[in-house]
Structure 1
Amino acid sequence: MADTKNRKTVSYYPKVLVSKDELTALQTRRMKHTLLRAYSFVPYYKKKWDDHGVHPDDFTFLEDIKKFPFTTKEDLRLNYPFGMFANPMSDIVRLHASSGTTGKPTVVGYTRKDIDTWSDLVARSIRLAGGGKGDIVHVSYGYGLFTGGLGAHYGAEKLGCTVVPASGGFTDKQVTLINDFKANVIMVTPSYMLNIIEEMENRGIDPKETALKVGIFGAEPWSMEMKRNIEEKVGIAALDIYGLSEMMGPGVACEVLEDRGDLYVWEDHFYPEIVDRDTFDPIPDGEEGELVLTTLTKEALPIIRYRTKDLSTLYEGDLLNMRKMKRIKARTDDMMIIRGVNVFPSQIEEVLLKIEAFSPYYQLIISREGNMDDLAIDVEPELTASTQEVQEAIKTLVHKVKSGIGVSVKVNIKNHGEVPRSQGKAQRVVDKRNL
């Protein structure tokens, strides 16, 4: 039975309604099994844990996971392509991989059971975000080696939805399909949703007049201002879905329509921790740090204590007996250090999108003059903004960034369409220091 005392009423997907004690027992059992699989079938883990002086037998309670060393993206790259797999290739039915822009890509393998689990979790996420059987889901995440498109696709089909596999790009065609097919739900990166909105407006289509009711957005950090911007322009509920390919793909955590704000982590399949971003020591719920995740049910690629580099906070939710994580607004590797000040793109976005004279299209340009780093913001004004309004907006942006974030910026006004549009994940930062 679900522990419903002092909790809101949830009207769907009873599979996630377990008591806290039941969840802890399930996590403990699954964690033990995962540790044994990793040690027995992944030579890298066996050597690493032997060198560290730890064994799966040392795990009795969930807190014991802290005895085990972290896994990083570099570990996966060092074992490229299949060295971290716990199953023979004859059991692997699909491969995904990161883009590999900063080195060899990280390769992820899936057994048939892994695909089924992934589909179930994305279906759960869509359902709890307000979608359901009979809805038409327009998927604008990229298909291919990126996990977003196929992850959303299989989950929506599992739920009983009709899927439009649009992928990314060809924005004019996407708008036509959304308008003609009457999609109720859209799954896409928030930055590409802005492109879709712009194309609708250019064609004289009011985004609020489409059939869309729910948007499920992920794959990149986005500010609350962008969330509000999308909701106001399209008249939808904009919800956050979280995932990463090393864990599975989208569907690790999701915002729930009946308990808006942050995301529930699906703790029956992933065990979350928060560690200090500098010392990497575990810190208690309620404090911000780097999110660390352990898979509990993955067969092909069990991952133990994976450092995500995403900054978040864990705390108890009101609706389910699973913890919530605060929305990812920044990653440790997105941080810019400008003249000694730590700056995240999302901080700039939060300020910029509150200024009505500016459009939501921007890019941050880092350059170096002598030994000093400089930060500039390329931004487009709204087409309806007057010259005087734009000049006042520039002053406001410079002042608010300086007073609120602590860094001086230059604002470059671009013509409409000059700031690059996202075709998937947005490139928010251009670092010209090493060019």
Structure 2
Amino acid sequence: MIWDETNECGSRTQLEELQLTRLKETVNRVYHHVPFYRERFDEAGLRPGDINSLADIQALPFTTKDDLRENYPFKLFAVPMEQVVRVHASSGTTGKPVVVGYTAKDLDTWTDLTARMVTLAGVTAKDVAQVAFGYGLFTGGFGLHYGLERAGATVVPASGGNSEKQIMLMQDFGTTALISTPTYALYLAEVAQKMGLDPRKDLKLRIGLFGGEPWTEEMRREIEQRWDIKATDNYGLSEVLGPGVAGECQYAAGHHIAEDHFLIEVIDPETGKNVGFGEEGELVFTSLTKEAFPVIRFRTKDISIVNVEQCRCGRTTARMRKVTGRTDDMLIIRGVNVFPSQIESVLMEIEGVTPHYRINVTRRGYLDELEILVEVPEQKFSGRFKELELLETKIKQKLHSVLSINAKVRLVEPHTLERTSGKAKRVYDYRKSERGA
């Protein structure tokens, strides 16, 4: 159901009763069907029957991304593979993806939740929605696609890239809703202008649903000004579901969380203790309705604040502030999660490079650029130029296979990069200074 008035606008008491019922069912399911969770619960001296209130969840152990990677690919699934009808995956720090699965019912739930999200953002059956997210193992493209269809919109599955064609499709098909990363939306506005079009007048775009990377209120205003649209943000992560976990309504006063399907906690990232609503901390999610891949107390490493005040739109579900940062060193490049350790693991597998490298992240126009400086041994650098070209190409190809994005690679002479006796500084992110954020 796209508009679920009972669960989106009901009382906190009714919602919490539903959450507790579903939490008990989920804990019982993972205990009996996922050996990882059963072992963790047993170590903590817990049984499913010990969960008698929502507060009891704090006794359960956290689940981390390391846990998901260590159980690659299907060890955390709670149903037999015959019941899994689709898998998606997100990047991991070692190059191995975190794999998530969906039953037919999971896909139906996912579609409902993304439909709910795009509807509260303002999409209707009259819209022509162009999805400029990449399709594939990434959850963003397919997740939004099916939700938009269920909301009644006409979907244009353009996928990412081929920017001039994106503008052509927007012009010829009368696209009214754009789904992409916010930086790509700004870049598309530039492309449209280079093609001799005025994005505000020559195209019919009226709304944008953006996600996949953090963005500021200043960028929101710039997008809205360049396109003359309403720009909304949405939040989701593959480990929990994908898009559909939370999204903004027309008032953009925080992301409405689908609390009938997810139990949200806010913790102190250092101590792991709950700090409660209204305080800044790390977001922790527990799925309440997923069949194939339920997660218990998943630490997102995303920093935000959650409040339960009723929104002006009438919804009573908790709202989370835009994510302001992460507790780890993950980079988000054009909507793709990139870890420095991924890059290091690639470089260390390639013969002919030293263990010294530097990662530069910049922004050209509105698109993120990833450049990696790699030192090569003296004998390699003094060799033939063709050999260096081949080495550079090899590194680029291997990085692309792991990261799923293109990175610039520059080979530099020995001892060019800074050395330190302490913790090496590998990452230089210039985007904030360039954007004045």
* Class of the TM-score when normalised by the shorter of the 2 chains: 0.7 to 0.9
Aligned residue runs from structure 1 range 66-215, under 5 A = 66-100=58-92, 102-209=94-201, 210-215=203-208
Cα pair distance change 1:174/1:335, threshold 3 Å: closer
> Aligned to 1:329, which of 318, 324, 328?
324
Q: CA deviation at 1:47?
A: 0.7
Cα pair distance change 1:284/1:99, threshold 3 Å: closer
Q: Is the 8 A contact 2:133 2:181 kept in 1?
A: yes
Could you tell me how far apart the structure 2 residues matched to 1:133 and 1:268 are? 25
Could you tell me how far apart the structure 1 residues matched to 2:179 and 2:217 are? 18
Could you tell me how far apart the structure 1 residues matched to 2:426 and 2:158 are? 39
Q: CA deviation at 1:329?
A: 2.5
Q: CA deviation at 1:334?
A: 3.4
Which amino acid in structure 2 is aligned with residue 248 of structure 1?
A: L
Aligned residue runs from structure 1 range 329-408, under 5 A = 329-334=324-329, 359-361=365-367, 369-371=418-420, 373=425
Cα pair distance change 1:90/1:196, threshold 3 Å: same
Farther off after superposition, 364-373 or 100-109:
364-373
Could you tell me how far apart the structure 2 residues matched to 1:189 and 1:85 are? 30
TM-score, normalised by the number of residues in structure 2: 0.76
TM-score, normalised by the number of residues in structure 1: 0.76
Give the unaligned 5+ runs of structure 1. 1-10, 337-351, 380-393, 406-435
Q: Is the 8 A contact 1:215 1:237 kept in 2?
A: yes
Q: CA deviation at 1:359?
A: 4.7
Which amino acid in structure 2 is aligned with residue 231 of structure 1?
A: E
Q: CA deviation at 1:377?
A: 6.5
Could you tell me how far apart the structure 2 residues matched to 1:133 and 1:255 are? 19
Secondary structure in structure 2 of the residue aligned to 1:369: coil
Could you tell me how far apart the structure 1 residues matched to 2:31 and 2:168 are? 51
Q: Is the 8 A contact 1:142 1:149 kept in 2?
A: yes
Which amino acid in structure 2 is aligned with residue 20 of structure 1?
A: R
Could you tell me how far apart the structure 2 residues matched to 1:369 and 1:87 are? 50
Identity %: 46
Q: Is the 8 A contact 1:71 1:305 kept in 2?
A: yes
Could you tell me how far apart the structure 2 residues matched to 1:47 and 1:157 are? 41
CA deviation vs aligned residue, 1:408-435 (integer Å, no higher than 9, x gap)? xxxxxxxxxxxxxxxxxxxxxxxxxxxx
Could you tell me how far apart the structure 1 residues matched to 2:372 and 2:278 are? 33
Secondary structure in structure 2 of the residue aligned to 1:71: coil
Could you tell me how far apart the structure 2 residues matched to 1:226 and 1:364 are? 20
Q: Is the 8 A contact 1:289 1:311 kept in 2?
A: yes
Which amino acid in structure 2 is aligned with residue 293 of structure 1?
A: F
Q: Is the 8 A contact 2:3 2:116 kept in 1?
A: no
Name the counterpart of 2:239.
Answer: 246
Could you tell me how far apart the structure 2 residues matched to 1:118 and 1:168 are? 22
Could you tell me how far apart the structure 1 residues matched to 2:418 and 2:98 are? 36
Cα pair distance change 1:83/1:129, threshold 3 Å: same
Q: Does 2:303 correspond to 1:311?
A: yes
Give the unaligned 5+ runs of structure 2. 332-361, 374-416
Cα pair distance change 1:92/1:328, threshold 3 Å: same
> Aligned to 2:34, which of 36, 42, 52?
42
Q: Is the 8 A contact 2:187 2:367 kept in 1?
A: no
Q: Does 2:268 correspond to 1:219?
A: no
Q: CA deviation at 1:110?
A: 0.3
Q: CA deviation at 1:95?
A: 0.5
Could you tell me how far apart the structure 1 residues matched to 2:133 and 2:112 are? 18
Q: CA deviation at 1:103?
A: 3.4
Q: Is the 8 A contact 1:114 1:298 kept in 2?
A: yes
CA RMSD of aligned residues (A): 2.6
Could you tell me how far apart the structure 1 residues matched to 2:74 and 2:266 are? 28
Name the counterpart of 1:274.
Answer: 266
Cα pair distance change 1:369/1:203, threshold 3 Å: same
Which amino acid in structure 2 is aligned with residue 290 of structure 1?
A: E
> Aligned to 2:253, which of 253, 256, 261?
261
How many residues are treated as equivalent by the alignment? 355
Name the counterpart of 1:426.
Answer: none
Name the counterpart of 2:282.
Answer: 290
Which amino acid in structure 1 is aligned with residue 319 of structure 2?
A: K
Could you tell me how far apart the structure 1 residues matched to 2:176 and 2:372 are? 40
